[in-house]
A and B are shown apart, each in its own frame.
Chain A
Amino acid sequence: MDDIQRKLQQNSKATREDRLGKVICYTCIGFIILLVACILYFIASKGIATFTKDHVNVWQFLTTSNWEPGNLDSKGHPMVGALPMIVTSFSVTLLAALVATPFALGVAIFMTEISAKKGAKMLQPVIELLVGIPSVVYGFIGLSLIVPFIRGIFGGTGFGILSGTLVLFVMVLPTITSLTVDSLKAVPMHYRQASLALGATRWQTIYKVILRSATPGILTAIIFGMARAFGEALAVQMVIGNAILMPKNLVSPASTLTSKLTTDIGNTVMGTLPNDALWSLALILLLMSLVFNMIVRFLGKRGNIKNAS
């Protein structure tokens, strides 16, 4: 058997390299999977301790509005009603998305349909910069500009849902915009040409053809924006007022899930009910982020079906 024949039938340096490379890559990806599993497990197990260990009623936790985890109410139950935080979190999220969406749509339409070359070139860095500004800086600007401004108009402290909404509006704007741009770009060129050839004006084309066929993508963009708003902690915490009250209006101090967590987790002792209750808030955040994820997947599937048919 000659040398070449032998080499053909033996492992070589290349075989070992490939094996090593695979081991490295599989390890890295395994690490990420393990990490995600750990996060879910840790937060979930801490989060349900309130209900399993401290015997708080889940329903009561979600629907009552007294949050004094250290104290008991008249019936001897711990007072852990998370409703004010839940309501506030959803309010700022929905309001921010509601305000930001028209702006995001406008900018995205401008970048793809009206001035696809110059406009896109000019606005792309604007969006990237808005994404790049750290949330504490948004919080600081909110604190030094928006809060006094609101105070000036509506009186009171200026802290509250309205300030939170305005700060979040600017923060989710780039997210929604850039994803909307992607989905508008994905609309095939011949849709536009066909519509314009039929004598439709540009706006009719945009409104009746392009926005319609990009709807799943735009909804996905909005959900991503909402996920960002829902999970945002510090910027909101700086302008929301951090009072654990059921929000009565948009300009009274309130508290979101995230703001409550950032303020209090360091002031409670691990393993006690006040601390467990906070982890339950974290669990709500985690679950909501999973829900947003599922909605995005669902929309993605629907979008695919729509494009395929």
Chain B
Amino acid sequence: MHPKRTDKIATGIIFCIVATVVLILAFLLGYILMNGVPDITWHFLTSQAQSFSAGGGIRDQLFNSLYLLILTLIISFPIAMGAGIYLAEYAKDNWITDIIRTSIEVLSSLPSVVVGLFGYLLLVNQLNFGFSILSGAIALTFFNLPLLTRNIEESLNSVPDLQKEAGTSLGLSDWKTITKIIIPEALPGILTGVILSSGRVFGEAAALIYTAGQSAPTVSYTNWNIFSSSSFLNPMRPAETLAVHIWKVNTEAVTPDAAAISAGSSAVLIIVILLFNLSARFIGNRIYKKMTAAK
């Protein structure tokens, strides 16, 4: 065939492929939002889930998801920060670093269900945390650590070495230079990474089914004593999240309006994640601008 003609045909095919992919996404988002958004009512967001009758809401699941996310970030961020600093600033080019990097790669490529099962084994059984928010948050930390660490390392590496030299040449310790000069400059990248990983954590279910559990016991939102078993803040209670809820009503539950609940929950999940995505872009850009140009 004539090369020019092949060229045209190939280009045409590629255009079709791109259009198909865009359509798939548009269709997915459209389907979730069109089906789900009508189900999102104030009642849906603020009432308890029902097991056997229609009309249940997702109040507890939504709260659990957010609470788990916050706990996960509180645990995983400092560790990822330390590990990221190590890789960006202290790691030498030798076999130890090689082992470390390989370990992180292995951790990041583990299926989340394996991470969840490990959490089940270690946290729920061995350490006797039971099905609890704490177990869930730690399991999600395992799942979140490698990506967050790599993101922080990359953000730190994107700050020019000159900045570090500037700090150390003034007699500042490496640690001060890193924490007070390099980290602030790497902040837009770090924040973007944290927010994007939040989206991942928020939507994760496989790692939670056997760690945070699949039940959402009745809790009191006025009981602020975190040691009380009925308090919404108690980290030792089981907590079904929104993502787990979607999975459960679709596979195991007998709720009559399972489809509507899933659609509504999926829409809420997607909207929250979209918000995370948008804010990651927005906040990153904003801080970057604020730092680099004064006016």
Interface size on B, residues (CB 8 A): 91
Task: Tell whether, in the assembled complex, residue A233 and residue B273 are in contact, meaning their CB atoms are under 8 Å apart.
Answer: no
Q: Assuming the A-B contacts A29-B83, A32-B104, A107-B18, are A202 and B11 also in contact, with contact meaning beta carbons closer than 8 angstroms in the complex?
A: yes
Q: Is A72 an interface residue (CB 8 A)?
A: no
Bound-state CA distance A24–B179 (Å) is: 12
Question: Chain B nearest CB: distance from A55 CB in Å?
Answer: 22
Question: Chain B nearest CB: distance from A139 CB in Å?
Answer: 7
Interface size, A (range): 35 or more
Hey, which chain A residues are within 8 Å of B3, CB to CB?
A: 200-201, 203-204
C-beta contact mask, B106-139 vs A, less than 8 Å → 1, else 0? 1101111111011011100100000000000000
- CB contacts between A and B, total, < 8 Å: 248
Bound-state CA distance A107–B17 (Å) is: 7
Task: Tell whether, in the assembled complex, residue B277 and residue A28 are in contact, meaning their CB atoms are under 8 Å apart.
Answer: no
Task: Tell whether, in the assembled complex, residue B112 and residue A233 are in contact, meaning their CB atoms are under 8 Å apart.
Answer: yes
Bound-state CA distance A18–B100 (Å) is: 22
Given A28, A46, A258, which contacts B86 in the complex, CB threshold below 8 Å? A28
Q: Is A90 an interface residue (CB 8 A)?
A: no
C-beta contact mask, B201-214 vs A, less than 8 Å → 1, else 0? 01111100110000
Hey, which chain B residues are within 8 Å of A266, CB to CB?
A: 209-210
Q: Is B105 an interface residue (CB 8 A)?
A: yes
Which 4 pairs of residues, A with B, have the shortest CB-CB distance?
A: A231-B111, A134-B203, A28-B82, A106-B17
Hey, which chain B residues are within 8 Å of A119, CB to CB?
A: 18
Task: Tell whether, in the assembled complex, residue A135 and residue B203 are in contact, meaning their CB atoms are under 8 Å apart.
Answer: yes
Residue of B whose beta carbon sits closest to that of A35: B142
Q: Is B194 an interface residue (CB 8 A)?
A: no
Q: Is B218 an interface residue (CB 8 A)?
A: no
15 residue pairs of the A-B complex, CB under 8 angstroms, read A15-B173, A21-B85, A25-B86, A32-B79, A33-B103, A43-B114, A109-B14, A129-B274, A132-B200, A136-B205, A136-B269, A141-B28, A204-B7, A286-B114, A289-B109
Task: Tell whether, in the assembled complex, residue A128 and residue B277 are in contact, meaning their CB atoms are under 8 Å apart.
Answer: yes
A183-212 contacts to B (CB < 8 Å): 200-204, 206-207
Bound-state CA distance A285–B118 (Å) is: 12
Given A134, A200, A286, which contacts B204 in the complex, CB threshold below 8 Å? A134
Q: Is B145 an interface residue (CB 8 A)?
A: yes
Give chain A's interface secondary structure class.
helix
Given A20, A43, A145, which contacts B118 in the complex, CB threshold below 8 Å? A43
Bound-state CA distance A207–B7 (Å) is: 10
Hey, which chain A residues are within 8 Å of B114, CB to CB?
A: 39, 43, 231, 282, 285-286, 289
Partner-A contacts on B (CB < 8 A)? 3-4, 6-7, 10-11, 13-18, 20-22, 24-25, 28-29, 31-32, 78-83, 85-87, 89-90, 99-100, 102-107, 109-115, 117-118, 120-122, 125, 142, 145-146, 149, 171-176, 178-179, 196, 199-200, 202-206, 209-210, 243-244, 246-247, 250-251, 259, 262-263, 266, 269-270, 273-274, 276-277
Hey, which chain A residues are within 8 Å of B118, CB to CB?
A: 38-39, 42-43
Q: Is A140 an interface residue (CB 8 A)?
A: yes
Hey, which chain B residues are within 8 Å of A29, CB to CB?
A: 82-83, 86-87, 100
Task: Tell whether, in the assembled complex, residue B247 and residue A136 are in contact, meaning their CB atoms are under 8 Å apart.
Answer: yes
Task: Tell whether, in the assembled complex, residue B25 and residue A114 are in contact, meaning their CB atoms are under 8 Å apart.
Answer: no
Task: Tell whether, in the assembled complex, residue B246 and residue A140 are in contact, meaning their CB atoms are under 8 Å apart.
Answer: yes
A14-67 contacts to B (CB < 8 Å): 14-15, 17-18, 20-22, 24-29, 31-33, 35-40, 42-43, 46
